[in-house]
Amino acid sequence: MKQVFKKPHALCDVPLHYCPGCTHGIVHRLVAEVIDELGIEGKTVGVAPVGCSVFAYDYFNCDMVEAAHGRAPAVATGIKRTNMDNVVFTYQGDGDLAAIGTAETVHAAARGENITIIFINNAIYGMTGGQMAPTTLPGQITQTSPYGRNTETQGFPLRVSEMLSTLDGPAYIERVAVDCVKHINQAKKAIKKAFTCQVEKKGFSLVEVVSTCPTNWGLSPEESMKWLQENMLPYYPLGVYCDKL
């Protein structure tokens, strides 16, 4: 019998703990497929964040380091500067990357560190039960914006891809989404381009993946995809924000 589909080698053969309909499952798979296709698992070191994907160190087959909240780009810098031939990636959520870790994110990008950041933007803090994130939309209801995000008292969301693209340091930044097949295919291309950028020593790459959180949005997985399309994509337009490759 011909095998037409299998789990990527870079993904451990263990059950994932994510909620039904969580897009972490999709993105983990895409990253692992890219690592397999580029043949780099043996020299890859991943940095796991604090957030729902904290257990990523159990899901990827390459060497993994758990970082303190927001510090993954600094940890990745330490790893990469020690062994320049390693492919070092971080996998971070919106609280990790754009709240507590803003300085580490901006400065790793500004330094043009030859690392790859996978940024999961789902407009909420998932692991801790659905609080407001720097990427929460105006008017969006969360546990810490129970009347809807009030821009007067709680400010405006951060557009990370746009922000980082104003720096001279980055080599490649693209925003993608995983809400439909067409977008998932584009997301994989972007992730592959980002890892390739690092392998070819061309500099700092970041892929922002607009994602869902059905559990904390209070929607079904299917409704969540729709909510993403109708609300997130207008605020976070997909596309390439930096391409010096």
CB of 154 to another protein, least distance (A): 25
68 binds another protein (CB under 8 A): yes
Which parts of 38-67 interact with another protein (CB under 8 A)?
41-45, 47-48, 54, 57-58, 60-67
The span from the CA of 139 to the CA of 98, in Å, is 19
Is 108 or 124 the residue whose CB approaches another protein more closely?
108
- Name residues whose C-beta falls within 8 Å of residue 4's C-beta, 6 or more positions apart in sequence: none
75 binds another protein (CB under 8 A): yes
Is 107 or 189 the residue whose CB approaches another protein more closely?
107
198 binds another protein (CB under 8 A): no
170-177 and 239-243 beta bridge pairing? antiparallel
Q: What is the DSSP string of 187-238?
A: HHHHHHHHHHHHHTT--EEEEEEE---HHHHTS-HHHHHHHIIIIIHHHS--
Is 36 or 223 the residue whose CB approaches another protein more closely?
36
36 binds another protein (CB under 8 A): no
CB of 140 to another protein, least distance (A): 29
Binding another protein (rule: CB under 8 A), the pick from 24, 28, 29, 71 is: 71
Per CB under 8 A, the segment of 81-89, 118-126, 155-163, 168-176 that binds another protein is 81-89
- Name residues whose C-beta falls within 8 Å of residue 146's C-beta, 6 or more positions apart in sequence: none
Is 63 or 243 the residue whose CB approaches another protein more closely?
63
> How many Cα atoms occupy the beta-carbon half-sphere of 88 within 13 Å?
24
CB of 32 to another protein, least distance (A): 12
134 and 98 Cβ atoms separated by less than 8 Å: yes
83 binds another protein (CB under 8 A): yes
Q: What is the DSSP string of 24-84?
A: HHHHHHHHHHHHHHHT-GGGEEEEE-SSGGGGHHHHBSSEEEE--TT-HHHHHHHHHHH-T
Binding site for another protein (CB under 8 A): 41-45, 47-48, 54, 57-58, 60-68, 71, 74-83, 86, 103-104, 106-107
